[in-house]
Structure 1
Amino acid sequence: MISPLSHRFVQAKWGGFHLKDLFEIKSSIKRFDANKVTVFERGHHPYIIRSGSNNGQRGYLKENEKFLNEGNTISFGQDTATLFYQKEPYFTGDKIKVLKSTLQQFEQKEALFFISSLNKAFSNFSWGSSRFNVKTIGNQIFNLPVREDNQIDFDFINSFMRQLEIEFLEVLKNYLAASGAPDFCFTKEETLAIESLKTKKFKNFKVTDIFNIRNTSSLLSREIISNSGSTPYLSASAENNGVNSFISYDPSFLNKGNCVFIGGKTFVVSYQEKDFFSNDSHNLALYLKEKKYSHKDILLGLATCINLSLRHKYSWGNSISSQKIKHDFVTLPLEDGQPDFEFLGNLTAALKKLVLKTVDDFVTEKTSELVTQ
């Protein structure tokens, strides 16, 4: 059954617009190469690259502010067609165009709606396409809702985005209700883990001393039927915890869950709670040797430790393997010369509650804003 919001979307009158008629396509003021600057995790000004995640942001730069690009613009990854709204002034990496609206009415809600349509318009372009030149970008047609006079219907856009935000907040409220931590209170052990983090000692351990390493089974996408069942089908993607679809297939191809999963060609690390199918035998499944510590929060923490310890070493051009990882080390919290798995689990549980509290505060703030609009 189609939802009321989807029904409104389908019933709206739409018109096509050339991108160049609504935006000025500008080159970034200066390109900053990632290997020639210091990228900070927080503070200063956003550093926008051609990434498809985290709003295109790699981190923050502290550079001459005369090279900042204007805020309230859209960053466009020129050979990846990644589009993100940038509210504040920002620095850029290579091949980023800045789309500055020529419309009087253009802020975050309008930008996000426009980006959704632009993403669809550019969806048939391949990565690295030579068609991503300024002329082609400008001539690209994308659809927007229009009034009877064929002018952009901003009332519809704002009303639609407001209703979408209401529905999204409802989803978050349901998630929080199901999280089982409505008071977000730390246990004694979780409090101690947070307080002792700065003074906690860490040590490098061979990955193979901590985990049993297995290559996963391999099911190519052409061999499966998407959404045909309830078992996760994993790829090496960073999106959706690596889950590409849920399928039904020959159980002999199943991999046991409750493990740390590594996308072999991309080095994307995640925790997999349930048994799963995998799209590539280059992917790795890491099973904790000390079974009594093989619990969700501990394994979530271990996934983070693996990522932080090895992400500098592996990439698409230098992929990890079951042979290479035998020579690798993972940095873990230490207690009496051994990995402190209990500390790691308590720390992870505390961090989860902090994140949930942040989400709860966000929902409360946004709900209040919607009420006063």
Structure 2
Amino acid sequence: MNLDVKKWTFFQVKDVLNIQNGKGITTEEIEENAGNFAVVQSGEENNGVLGKIDLDYCKSKGYTYTEKSCLTVARSGSAGFVSFQKNGCVVGDSAKILLLPDEVAKTEIYLFLHSILTANRFKYDYGRKVTESKYMNDYIALPALVNGRKKVPDFEFMENYIKSLHYKPLTTKNRPENALPLNIEKWGEFLLSDIFKCSTTTLSIKDELLEGNTPFISRTALNNGCDGYVEVEAKFITKGNCISIGAEGIYAFYQKEDFATGNKIYTLRNEKLNQYVALFICAVLNHEVYRYSYGRARILSKLQNEYIKLPINHKGEPDFEFMENYIKSLPYGDRV
């Protein structure tokens, strides 16, 4: 199917979606009332999900939530950032829920609108917050059809267009029930600097570099921390097979290939590190990112003094072999 954008019609967002404003939820509440329901705030990391909370607790507090599929938009911080939440979510006061009418509330239509709204995000740069009035009265161009005397959004076209996109589903031979068990109660606690060499990297200024083939790792939480590809001198290249962490980006990513870096990027190295072990450790490290929210940077000195819980072997040492085998045993672990 082709997108003939020139024939699209402008609609106000309020003609397409309904909006619900969030209410304050703290990280302490998430910790104390852990559950399986996604909490969405203003960040871009992890698709906007700050953590998981107990839904009954949210209901008792009168928080803004939906159990239906929805879009969310960040009010401040990463203002205008839009996420799709297939299983619903609760939103804090820095995010809002966007809902389609029930009769057209399909995953494909939400994904189509996600792309359109994301293209409008530039309007909220430079500290301009998303307000209900401004956002809902803004105009977006959409496929349209004539219904009586007026044009209306062509939701059927949007749905069929997304369905028409060509992709090959990823398959796995691993069954969920065959994944190795995690007995977290028997894990050991280690100082990060006792098991990793924690180091800074050599800074490069991306805007001063030409496009090339070397991954440029910055503090972005997206795309495995990669902010593009550059041409850079050998002295500015950091060797791969390590974990990278950005001070404000705070998320840990495995870097298999050599790379260049922006400001305040740190690396963790261990001779037993490989892509499987790294994925396990990154998952554990990223579980702790909430501790560094709201301007508390994950700088090198804090990294070196951070504690991490890991599986242990009979010697009481980190069981890197188990970590590797665990990742390999997960669904799609055979495709890593």
Normalising TM by the smaller chain, what interval? Answer: 0.7 to 0.9
Out of 168, 183, 187, which is 2:173 matched to? 183
How far is the alpha carbon of 1:53 from its aligned partner?
4.5
1:271: Cα distance to partner? 1.1
Matches within 5 A, 1:345-356: 345-351=324-330, 354-355=331-332
**Cα distance, 1:103 vs structure 2:** 8.7
**1:142 CA drift (Å):** 0.5
Q: Which residue is equivalent to 1:268? A: 251
Q: TM-score, normalised by structure 2?
A: 0.81
Count of residues in correspondence between the two structures:
322
SS, match of residue 312 in structure 2: strand
Please tell me the residue identity of whatever aligns with 2:324: G
Cα distance change, pair 33–157 in 1 and its aligned pair in 2 (3 A): same
Q: Distance in 2 between matches of 1:11 and 1:325?
A: 49
1:139-178 alignment, distance < 5 Å? 139-147=137-145, 150-164=151-165, 167-168=166-167, 170=168, 172-173=169-170, 176=171
Q: Does 1:78 align with 2:75?
A: yes
In structure 2, relative to structure 1, the CA distance for the partners of 1:134 and 1:209 (3 Å cut) is closer
Q: Is the 2:174–2:332 Cα contact (8 Å) retained in structure 1?
A: no
In the TM superposition, 1:55-204 aligns within 5 A as: 55-57=47-49, 58-61=51-54, 62-63=56-57, 65=59, 67=62, 69-70=65-66, 71=68, 73-79=70-76, 80-86=79-85, 90-101=89-100, 105-126=104-125, 128-130=127-129, 132-147=130-145, 150-164=151-165, 167-168=166-167, 170=168, 172-173=169-170, 176=171, 183-184=173-174, 194-195=180-181, 197-198=182-183, 201-204=186-189
Distance of aligned partners of 1:112 and 1:319 in 2 relative to their CA distance in 1, 3 Å threshold: same
The aligned amino acid for 1:253 is: F
Q: Mark the structure with the bigger radius of gyration.
A: 1
TM-score in terms of structure 1 length: 0.74
Q: d(CA) in 1 for partners of 2:58 and 2:267?
A: 45
1:214 alignment partner, one of 168, 176, 199:
199
More strand by share: 2
- Is 1:302 the counterpart of 2:281? The answer is yes
Q: Equivalents in 2 of 1:349, 1:94: separation in Å?
A: 39
Q: What does residue 179 of structure 1 align with?
A: none
- Structure 2 partner of 1:343: 322
> CA offsets, 1:194-218, max 9 Å, x none?
24x3277322223222222221111
Task: Output the amino acid matched with 2:173.
Answer: D
* Contact persistence 1:232–1:275 (CA under 8 A): yes
Shift of 1:259: 0.8
Structure 1 unaligned spans of 5+ = 177-181, 360-373
Q: 2:280 is matched by which residue type in structure 1?
A: G
Deviations 1:37-88 (A, max 9, x none): 544242xx44332333445433233226474545355433222223344555
Q: By percentage of residues, which structure has more helix?
A: 1
Q: Is the 8 A contact 1:22 1:103 kept in 2?
A: no
Check 1:350–1:275 CA distance in 2 against 1; reply closer, same or farther (3 A cut).
same
Q: Supply the distance in 1 between the matched residues of 2:138 and 2:25 (Cα, whole angstroms).
A: 28
Q: Which digits, 9 at most, give the CA deviation of each residue in 1:271-298, with x for residues without a partner?
A: 1111111112x2111211xx3x233322
1:26–1:222 Cα change, 3 Å? same
Partners of 1:137 and 1:234 in 2: CA distance? 33
Identity of aligned residues (%): 23
Q: Is the 8 A contact 1:76 1:82 kept in 2?
A: yes
Residue 344 to residue 105, structure 1, CA distance change in 2 (3 Å): closer
